[in-house]
Amino acid sequence: MKRLEGQYAFITGAGKGIGKAVASLFAEEGATVFLIDILNEVNEVADEIRGQNLKAESFVVDVRDRQKLKSLVESIISQHGKIDILINNAGIIRDRTFLKMSDDEWHDVMDINLNSVFTITKLILPHMKESGYGRIVSASSINGYVGTFGQTNYSSSKAAIIGFTKSLAKEVGKYGITVNAVAPGFIQTDMTASMPAAVIEAGMAAIPVGRAGQPEDVAHAYLFLASREAGFVNGEILNVNGGVYA
């Protein structure tokens, strides 16, 4: 029996990187996956998944666009009746030391990494409450704990995800809904590829398991937290960092 058979999963930032790996893994585990991304590439990801005889639908939407998201959630609910799993994964970096950081660099990161999580969770949660079941898992980061040079915006957004997760978990656990987060360390994706080579080298050298993380490493952590079996894990932040910070 597949672990997510018959379930519906709404995954943001599924056009590449970790979100794409989550979408593929969840589909392999039997879920119907709804892939949301600002990039058109998300359509190819859904095509690839459907090419394996698995169930995927893609939507090119900016996670800041509340109106479009509202219509999308309503249309999924009217067609399928429920959304079991929400993966709040979309995220960006706009690195700059604080003294040089522009208002846009601050607000773009907050809007995409944090405020969209408020918007989307608010749209989907009432439906989970109605069905008496839900799994919400969001993307925090090791940087939300430790802080990083040049990332006051990003680290703040990822620390806020921890507070959001722990607080909401206390509110909605009684409805059969769990709220958790993953906190990845250094994972090889386009996001980290844009960092200076010296920073990447130093980061890699500090990883006890002796390799960089891959999107699939994080996808398996999401799968655990999104599974039925994780029903007694609530308000947890799961580190996926090879032992750098534990």
Ligand X SMILES: NC(=O)c1ccc[n+]([C@@H]2O[C@H](COP(=O)([O-])OP(=O)(O)OC[C@H]3O[C@@H](n4cnc5c(N)ncnc54)[C@H](O)[C@@H]3O)[C@@H](O)[C@H]2O)c1
| Residues taking part in catalysis | 154
Contact between 62 and ligand X (CB under 6 A)? Answer: yes
Nearer to ligand X (CB atom), residue 69 or residue 169: 69
Nearer to ligand X (CB atom), residue 39 or residue 132: 39
Contact between 186 and ligand X (CB under 6 A)? Answer: yes
Contact between 209 and ligand X (CB under 6 A)? Answer: no
Nearer to ligand X (CB atom), residue 134 or residue 242: 242
Contact between 217 and ligand X (CB under 6 A)? Answer: no
> Three-state secondary structure along 187-230?
ECCHHHHCCCHHHHHHHHHCCCCCCCECHHHHHHHHHHHHCHHH
Contact between 242 and ligand X (CB under 6 A)? Answer: no
Residue 41: Cβ-neighbour burial (10 angstroms; 0-12, 13-18, 19+): middle
CA distance 161 to 50: 32
Nearest residue to 60 (alpha-carbon basis) of 33, 80, 34, 88: 34
Q: Which of 121, 165, 192, 234 binds ligand X (CB under 6 A)?
A: 192
Structure tokens at 199: 């920073």
Q: Which of 8, 10, 11, 17 binds ligand X (CB under 6 A)?
A: 17
Contact between 134 and ligand X (CB under 6 A)? Answer: no
Strand order in the sheet with 32-37: 56-60, 32-37, 8-12, 85-88, 134-139, 177-184, 237-240
Beta bridge partners of 71: none
Residues 19-48 that bind ligand X (CB under 6 A): 19, 37-39
Nearer to ligand X (CB atom), residue 146 or residue 170: 146
Residue 208: Cβ-neighbour burial (10 angstroms; 0-12, 13-18, 19+): exposed
Contact between 246 and ligand X (CB under 6 A)? Answer: no
Binding site for ligand X (CB under 6 A): 12-13, 15-19, 37-39, 62-64, 89-92, 112, 139, 141, 184, 186-187, 189-192
